[in-house]
Amino acid sequence: MVHLSNPDDAAFLQGYFKTGPGQYGEGDIFRGIRVPAVRKLAGKHRHISLEDADALLHSPYHEDRLLALLILMRKYGAADEAGRAAIYKLYLGRTNYINNWDLVDLSALHIVGAHLEGRSRKPLYILARSKIIWERRIAVLATFHFIRNGDFSDSLKIAALLLTDKEDLIHKAAGWMLREVGKRDQKKEELFLLNHYRQMPRTMLRYAIERFPADARRKYLKGEI
């Protein structure tokens, strides 16, 4: 991947993904390779072994970890039941390397969400209570898989569980999933909001009501519903 690196892009990406001291992506380093190029590489190398994908996921470089996740997603979609179980187990055993919002958002629904379809959702609630921000975001984003299949229950329960979360990135993720629920069933989103909007972090509420008419958004934000 070195030949695809771009120092200017790397500098931009390290700022964009908040890699400075005390920021959520502290210490992450970039090669400066854009996502379309990484996706192309994932298609080219989709047949590498699970062990090699795991080794790639351990890389200090963000794009390498992105490539590993793209490959794991492809492998998961093509695998038999045993293969999918192995990929799911690997994924949850490597959450310390799935350590920025783009890595979570890209992969959680396609591996964790997909694997828990038709299974106990208990692992999501364990993740949602984790001290690690990325595990909590995985819990939220994994439910996008269920939302796409018309199942909103876990998205709503986990959003309620995270109402007191301290991290803005979790507020954004939960609000986003609430908005996605509303796209498919606005009454269910509105019922959730009526029960919780006064306690919701401002960012979560703004994300959740983004598609509402301006007058309705204003009433929610002023607490006048």
Write out pLDDT tens, residues 13-28: 999 999 999 999 999 9
% of the chain surpassing 90 pLDDT: 95
| Helix, strand and coil in the chain, % to nearest 5 | 70, 0, 30
Give the pLDDT of residue 84. Answer: 98
In a 3-state reduction of DSSP, which class is residue 200?
Answer: coil
Residue 2 in this model has a pLDDT that exceeds 90: no
* 179-188 residue pLDDT tens: 999 999 999 9
Q: Is-contact 13 35, C-beta < 8 A? A: no
Three-class DSSP labels, 52-99: HHHHHHCCCEHHHHHHHHHHHHHHHHHCCHHHHHHHHHHHHCCHHHCC
Give the pLDDT of residue 3. Answer: 73
DSSP of 1-62: -GGG--HHHHHHHHHHTT-STTSTTTT-B-----HHHHHHHHHHTTTS-HHHHHHHHT-SBH
Task: Supply the pTM of this predicted model.
Answer: 0.95
* 29-45 residue pLDDT tens: 999 999 999 999 999 99
Give the pLDDT of residue 4. Answer: 82
* 84-111 residue pLDDT tens: 999 999 999 999 999 999 999 999 999 9
